[in-house]
Structure 1
């Protein structure tokens, strides 16, 4: 079982294999290069002694040359160290352990014992002991230090057999052996601590990279434009929304904000913000841009500044929004709030209105002819008008869940049109003002029956008010169009002017003084609730206006 202290073998949670292998390979190559340098240094020391007139022993020269050749071969030949890993160096039986550490112990021990000049080669044992302490488990590292100490003591014993004074050599062997054990323990502890710190740093780096990716994903998906600019006006970062708002090409980045004439309002706003020392709170300004594409755009800028710390650069973060989108969002919020209030008011009006209608009906029974009867009819007409308005407002109440289900649209349209013709007094026949065409019986669409009936009645009422006189001036058509059903209501007459066309589906917009302006808006809202679509178009074959409601069918819903 491996002891504590190895950089690679003994760390409790195993680090990622690729990173651990890279770290081991880096240290292993460093030690091999140090061994090669040590081998060359030994050979150079022998050559220098020759130059100085001291002839080294042949055994010392041969051992030095052998060690230098072996160290250089292991350092320069990748095939000799193939398969070396932290796991292989954790076993004393491994050939990789013997080629990198065991050879050093043997050669340095023999060199120290056989050198007749009395040079202390015991310091060379620091290399294998240090290598074992860093790359092997603690127990094996201590065993390596013990082998080196035994080698020193063995050299002292050899001197005793040779009849030499062993007192000094024995003392040196004990001191050097103690130092080797200390080196092994300290190097092992330091390597373990460095391994833990490297692992923590690697984990922090992985978290930082993950956070950076998350931040980048969030910023890229933001509908609001984000722009990071330094004091020199150089753009550091820009998300896709900002590129779209500013008309920037996808390849543009790390260029000067001052490089384009159409961005000068941004430059001026940035200079005023920096010059005014706005601080982290920043400022909000409106700028008008005339883009190179010819489009004009009004933007709202919110400038925020990073807190400047020692050694860090102050950056400005610009949040860019289109004023048109801001106004549209504000309008939608107001409409939603108004819808909730209106729904509450409509609910409160419904009961008094019913009481007025009932009282007026009772009053109408008691009067006959004259001025009073005319007044009761006027009251009844206005009560019905108010009731329709209350119903319209109630349809817009938020939170209502749509009841979308398959309908026999052919039968519903046929029935609704027959009822509408009777209520509005439209004469039937060949010269009738209204015509109905249903492509086939049994056409099925996805909608709510009451909501679809309401849409059709609203469109027919609208056509009845604006269509010109004549046979077939109002037409309703139902037919299949691919996987959808098209319900088209057509009215003969002059096309809707362009300035009115873009407001057709807006709430409370009406060209009539007595109109509520909710009819087409309700049609659009109901269509959106059920996944349908309503559009206005000008007829191409005649002077007429058409409103087309495209309904989903069960087949289109299943394919989607």
Structure 2
């Protein structure tokens, strides 16, 4: 790209900067205007010379045909060049590209000076090509043009002396002083033009860097999850990102500039900005903004920072050079901050639980072994045998829970999916439900609606039983107090378009609807709405489902019962029916919290 730029553009730009064509056009704009003005001035000068000859005829002065030819030819050449070369600067280096401009001017002026019959002196016009070569060309071109003018003027003076029309030595001295002045003017003009080019190149470079930095800042601010507001002392918002608009309850297409004083609900923000400007120091506080809707006030953690820059001289509202402060406000959603903190705590608790589960496996194994030995010595005592069986069953249950917690920790660390085995969904669902009903006396009411007899799923049998038992226990705790068996239902289906044609299992109970705050944390570990619950049941269900490419979600659905259609809480597990890829995203994926 550098080869396509004028050489003077390369010399004035810093070495680590490459200016594009558009930037180069902006840099050359004043010189293009100067070039066009010079070409227009040549046309006017040629027209003036023609009019001068016309006025000479009216004054009965002698005008030779050669003078007419020079004037008219000069006018024609200037018009052609103005029409063809007015939009493009010639290369600044000395070369043939300057002959139609500077060469024609010098030739025309000297021919008029030689051919004119009166006392007119055209040599003063030679300053024009010297100035334009110094302003738009290189220093070599400027000095070359001046040297050419000097030689021609000395030749002209010498010729005039030989024809007895000159002034002798005095004419040589005048010519020498004039040419020396031309050299000085050419050098100063070239240095001034070079300084202007450098200043414009640096200004353009700084402007491009500023624009790039503004774009980077805008991209960074817009991508932040925390809200950012930039407010001036008049409480006018100068910049706002989408996250801040959402926290303030504004639509995404809201205007970027608005006033904090326009709404009474933003009074806490207004007070924080005023306090920051008053004390000229950062501020950190927690506030609540009332918003319309069922969620209640929006809790925000606010941080402010004060910036200070010089006000532009053209701003009539500020004193030139006076400090112009801006307040940058960072808005953090308290709910998100609490969620992150809760996630960190849960991760720590998960690691601790895995460690505890690992440590209790050995004592549990000892308890189970001691219980087995004790049961051998109590063959003649049925009551004590029942107690041993109870101890053994609970020890086995605790061992399975510890092993599952360790398996979940391994899955979270390693991530590979388990292979599982092919299971008949309806058959194993019926077996698990029968075992669950038989665990309590009297028999717990339950309705089965099995409609996936032809489908097999890829799952581990014990893990499927564990998921179903957890869901049934959860549904039993939250079902209504009626004795209707239909208040707790287990449904299987062979799939539909909504579930990606994957078989699914659903546990439904007619319990009260869950609060939105509870729904958000259903599948989080150690979260429970009951004080005696560990909060691991649904979390283990989700983790076990993910091991086999399945998904679990919550919905509020209506099911037919003896009392009619009744709404209840439904937990649905969508399986993959083969050993292939996991099931595609479905409707329930958007419900999982």
Same topology, TM > 0.5 = yes
Please tell me whether residue 320 in structure 1 is matched to residue 339 in structure 2: no
Equivalent residue for 1:273?
Answer: 276
Q: Is the 8 A contact 2:502 2:583 kept in 1?
A: no
Q: Is the 8 A contact 2:378 2:384 kept in 1?
A: yes
Q: Is the 8 A contact 1:339 1:396 kept in 2?
A: no
Shift of 1:293: 6.6
Shift of 1:242: 0.8
Equivalent residue for 2:304?
Answer: 303
Pick closer, same or farther for the CA change 1:433–1:246 going to 2, 3 Å. Answer: closer
Equivalent residue for 2:535?
Answer: 517
State how far apart, in whole Å, the 1-side matches of 2:406 and 2:121 are. Answer: 103
SS in 1 for 2:220: helix
Shift of 1:243: 0.9
State how far apart, in whole Å, the 1-side matches of 2:163 and 2:105 are. Answer: 24
SS in 1 for 2:414: coil
Shift of 1:207: 2.9
Shift of 1:525: 4.2
Q: CA RMSD in A?
A: 4.5
Shift of 1:401: 3.2
After TM superposition, the structure 1 = structure 2 runs for residues 84-103 of structure 1, keeping only pairs within 5 Å, are 84-87=88-91, 92-94=95-97, 97-103=98-104
State how far apart, in whole Å, the 1-side matches of 2:339 and 2:471 are. Answer: 26
State how far apart, in whole Å, the 2-side matches of 1:298 and 1:449 are. Answer: 46
Q: Is the 8 A contact 1:113 1:156 kept in 2?
A: no
Shift of 1:195: 3.8
Equivalent residue for 1:339?
Answer: 350
Q: What does the per-residue CA deviation read over 1:49-81, in whole Å, with 9 as the maximum and x for residues that have no partner?
A: x9xxx9998689979976996798579x6x343
Pick closer, same or farther for the CA change 1:130–1:456 going to 2, 3 Å. Answer: farther
State how far apart, in whole Å, the 2-side matches of 1:266 and 1:253 are. Answer: 17
Shift of 1:230: 1.1
Q: Give 2:492's match in structure 1, choosing from 471, 474, 477.
A: 477
SS in 1 for 2:171: helix
Please tell me whether residue 383 in structure 1 is matched to residue 385 in structure 2: no
Equivalent residue for 1:208?
Answer: 210
Equivalent residue for 2:467?
Answer: 455
Equivalent residue for 2:131?
Answer: 130
Q: Is the 8 A contact 2:513 2:556 kept in 1?
A: no
Shift of 1:385: 4.5
Q: Is the 8 A contact 1:410 1:443 kept in 2?
A: yes
Q: Is the 8 A contact 1:9 1:136 kept in 2?
A: no
Shift of 1:313: 1.1
Instruction: List alignment gaps of at least 5 residues for structure 1.
Output: none
After TM superposition, the structure 1 = structure 2 runs for residues 241-252 of structure 1, keeping only pairs within 5 Å, are 241-249=243-251, 250-252=253-255
Instruction: List alignment gaps of at least 5 residues for structure 2.
Output: 311-320, 587-593
Pick closer, same or farther for the CA change 1:534–1:110 going to 2, 3 Å. Answer: same
State how far apart, in whole Å, the 2-side matches of 1:123 and 1:25 are. Answer: 29
Pick closer, same or farther for the CA change 1:65–1:539 going to 2, 3 Å. Answer: same
Q: Is the 8 A contact 1:226 1:241 kept in 2?
A: yes
Shift of 1:262: 1.8
Shift of 1:314: 0.8
Q: What does the per-residue CA deviation read over 1:402-452, in whole Å, with 9 as the maximum and x for residues that have no partner?
A: 33378776536634653563576489xxx995636243534567x788755
Equivalent residue for 2:161?
Answer: 160
Pick closer, same or farther for the CA change 1:437–1:426 going to 2, 3 Å. Answer: farther
Pick closer, same or farther for the CA change 1:453–1:154 going to 2, 3 Å. Answer: farther
Equivalent residue for 2:318?
Answer: none
Shift of 1:372: 5.4
State how far apart, in whole Å, the 2-side matches of 1:451 and 1:192 are. Answer: 82
Shift of 1:318: 0.7
After TM superposition, the structure 1 = structure 2 runs for residues 19-34 of structure 1, keeping only pairs within 5 Å, are 19-24=23-28, 26-34=30-38
Equivalent residue for 2:315?
Answer: none
State how far apart, in whole Å, the 1-side matches of 2:108 and 2:517 are. Answer: 100
TM-score when normalising by structure 1: 0.79
Equivalent residue for 2:560?
Answer: 541
State how far apart, in whole Å, the 1-side matches of 2:386 and 2:219 are. Answer: 70
Instruction: Tell me whether 128-137 or 337-346 shows the greater mean CA deviation.
Output: 128-137
Q: Is the 8 A contact 2:134 2:142 kept in 1?
A: yes
State how far apart, in whole Å, the 2-side matches of 1:242 and 1:201 are. Answer: 34
Equivalent residue for 2:366?
Answer: 355
Shift of 1:220: 0.8
State how far apart, in whole Å, the 2-side matches of 1:136 and 1:531 are. Answer: 76
State how far apart, in whole Å, the 1-side matches of 2:550 and 2:199 are. Answer: 57
Q: Give 1:365's match in structure 2, choosing from 376, 379, 383.
A: 376
Instruction: Tell me whether 230-239 or 156-165 shows the greater mean CA deviation.
Output: 156-165
Equivalent residue for 2:314?
Answer: none
Shift of 1:550: 2.9
Shift of 1:479: 1.9
Q: Give 1:16's match in structure 2, choosing from 20, 31, 49.
A: 20
Please tell me whether residue 435 in structure 1 is matched to residue 448 in structure 2: yes
Shift of 1:235: 0.8
Pick closer, same or farther for the CA change 1:9–1:304 going to 2, 3 Å. Answer: closer
After TM superposition, the structure 1 = structure 2 runs for residues 64-213 of structure 1, keeping only pairs within 5 Å, are 73=79, 79-81=83-85, 84-87=88-91, 92-94=95-97, 97-113=98-114, 122-163=123-164, 164-192=166-194, 194-213=196-215
Q: Is the 8 A contact 1:113 1:158 kept in 2?
A: no
Shift of 1:335: 1.2
TM-score when normalising by structure 2: 0.75
| Number of aligned residues | 541
SS in 2 for 1:539: strand
Q: Is the 8 A contact 2:27 2:201 kept in 1?
A: no
Q: Is the 8 A contact 1:476 1:489 kept in 2?
A: yes
State how far apart, in whole Å, the 1-side matches of 2:10 and 2:224 are. Answer: 46
SS in 2 for 1:485: coil
Q: Is the 8 A contact 2:27 2:200 kept in 1?
A: no
Shift of 1:189: 5.0
Shift of 1:496: 4.9
Please tell me whether residue 487 in structure 1 is matched to residue 504 in structure 2: yes
Q: Give 2:242's match in structure 1, choosing from 240, 257, 262.
A: 240
Please tell me whether residue 287 in structure 1 is matched to residue 287 in structure 2: yes
SS in 2 for 1:516: coil
Pick closer, same or farther for the CA change 1:536–1:322 going to 2, 3 Å. Answer: same
State how far apart, in whole Å, the 2-side matches of 1:21 and 1:252 are. Answer: 34
Instruction: Tell me whether 372-381 or 203-212 shows the greater mean CA deviation.
Output: 372-381
